[in-house]
Amino acid sequence: MNRFGIDLGGTKIEGAVVDSARPDCAVCRLRVPTGSAGGYRHVIAQLSKLVGMLERESGVRRPALIGIGTPGVIDPSTGVLKNSNSTCLNGRRVREDLAAELGVGVRLANDANCFALAEAMFGAGRGRKVVVGLILGTGIGGGVVVDGRVLDGLHGIAGEWGHNPMCGEHTPCYCGRRGCVETVISGPALERFYAGRTGRRLSLPEIAARAAKGERPAAATLSRLQAKFGEAIAAVINIVDPDAIVIGGGVGNLDLLYTEETRKAVLRHLFNMEVRTEFLRPTLGDSAGVFGAAMLTSSSRPAAAQGGSPPARRTRSG
């Protein structure tokens, strides 16, 4: 049986058709721009467009149930999406609107939870009891997997370390607070820090390349990442004490996060005399989220998916 998994991101929507017998392999994988600037209805239309493309490219008819990873979460008490950095989604009944648009049932889960689940089950964290999956990219998110199940939480916010406050930081965050982890060590935040020192807007990979050549402002930017990452992730380890942390997203591609110096930065804030937690690169690449989303449609439902029975399939033209 084939499953459809969708990762609804801030800049792109990725979808995959996954064979349930090989849940870590995509039969077909495609992307479209999210187009958040076009507003909520445009994003819904883009996701629908992607599902149609997957059907045509793979020759597989969309199943009665599709798993979708979203930025933010469905509030258990109201049924609307909240906490998304794609703010046009907030306050909307995304699950119901997608089900109506696609003509099939949908199950939603936070995109970082989908990433964490996939990497814990058949990626870098395979075989570990407690795995934290981090997204370090345009935004900062996380998910916690224990014995193959995602922790969701009473408010649906388990793992949201990106909105913990950081000492001495006051930059406004889209969430309405100041000094969140996301305002300090996300890709855009680090790029802004470098621009503030140099007047130049460069991408994080470009900054890293300059740091390797000895440029001081670039080196200072990476030193800030290392120190603040250590502070931020130590709080997570103090509470969850995971066996492994898998780091995804563009910032997670930087080698310095896996060095002994970074472990020392963590230890400065840790309630322990050593750091035994593994820091791992993802093995499923950019597609980890879609694999986790596809798993939401499993009858065993290893994740705390947000959704119900699929509606009757509607007739589609074209």
Nearest to 310 by CA among 105, 5, 98, 61: 105
How many structural domains compose the chain? 2
Q: What is the mean pLDDT of the chain?
A: 92
Same domain, 76 and 152: no
Domain assignment present for residue 316? The answer is: no
CA–CA gap between residue 8 and residue 114 (Å, rounded) = 11
Domain assignment present for residue 122? The answer is: no
Same domain, 58 and 153: no
Q: Residue 80: pLDDT above 60?
A: yes
CA–CA gap between residue 70 and residue 114 (Å, rounded) = 9
Q: Looking at residue 197, which CATH number applies to its domain?
A: 3.30.420.40
Q: Residue 276: pLDDT above 90?
A: yes
Radius of gyration of the chain (CA): 19
Same domain, 134 and 261: yes
Domain limits for position 83: 2-113+286-307
Same domain, 88 and 139: no
- Strand-pair category, 130-136 with 244-248: parallel
Same domain, 170 and 249: yes
Domain assignment present for residue 318? The answer is: no
pLDDT (tens digit, 9 = 90+) per residue, 216-268?
A: 999 999 999 999 999 999 999 999 999 999 999 999 999 999 999 999 999 99
- Coil/strand/helix, residue 170: coil
- Coil/strand/helix, residue 150: strand
Structural tokens at position 186: 């996300």
Domain assignment present for residue 151? The answer is: yes
Same domain, 16 and 56: yes
Query: What is the model's pLDDT at position 18?
Result: 93
Query: What is the model's pLDDT at position 316?
Result: 39
Residue 306 has phi, psi (to 5 degrees) of -110, 105
Percentage of the chain surpassing pLDDT 70? 93
Residue 67 has phi, psi (to 5 degrees) of -95, 135
Q: 306: pLDDT confidence band, cut at 50, 70 and 90?
A: low
Q: Residue 304: pLDDT above 60?
A: no
Instruction: Say which residue the tokens 């930065």 belong to.
Output: 265
CA–CA gap between residue 235 and residue 239 (Å, rounded) = 6
Domain assignment present for residue 118? The answer is: no
* Residues near 215 by beta carbon (within 8 Å), at least 6 away in sequence: none
Query: What is the model's pLDDT at position 287?
Result: 73
Structural tokens at position 127: 């075989």
Same domain, 90 and 225: no
How many whole angstroms from its chain centre is CA 111?
Answer: 4
pLDDT (tens digit, 9 = 90+) per residue, 20-50?
A: 888 888 999 999 999 999 999 999 999 999 9
Same domain, 62 and 164: no
Domain assignment present for residue 312? The answer is: no
CA–CA gap between residue 26 and residue 20 (Å, rounded) = 10
- Coil/strand/helix, residue 75: coil
* Residues near 176 by beta carbon (within 8 Å), at least 6 away in sequence: none
Q: 303: pLDDT confidence band, cut at 50, 70 and 90?
A: very low
Same domain, 166 and 271: yes
Alpha carbon distances (Å) from 260 to 59, 68, 232, 270, 275: 48, 36, 17, 15, 10
Structural tokens at position 65: 């149930």
Q: 106: pLDDT confidence band, cut at 50, 70 and 90?
A: very high
Q: 299: pLDDT confidence band, cut at 50, 70 and 90?
A: low
How many whole angstroms from its chain centre is CA 66?
Answer: 18
Same domain, 70 and 141: no
Query: What is the model's pLDDT at position 269?
Result: 98
What is the pTM for the complete model shown?
A: 0.87
* Residues near 233 by beta carbon (within 8 Å), at least 6 away in sequence: 134, 161, 245, 266
Domain assignment present for residue 271? The answer is: yes
Same domain, 227 and 106: no
Query: What is the model's pLDDT at position 243?
Result: 98
Alpha carbon distances (Å) from 117 to 14, 67, 317: 17, 13, 35
Q: 300: pLDDT confidence band, cut at 50, 70 and 90?
A: low
Query: What is the model's pLDDT at position 11?
Result: 84
CA–CA gap between residue 296 and residue 109 (Å, rounded) = 8
Query: What is the model's pLDDT at position 314?
Result: 42
Same domain, 164 and 67: no
Domain assignment present for residue 189? The answer is: yes
pLDDT (tens digit, 9 = 90+) per residue, 146-205?
A: 999 999 899 989 999 999 999 999 999 999 999 999 999 999 999 999 999 999 999 999
Query: What is the model's pLDDT at position 315?
Result: 38
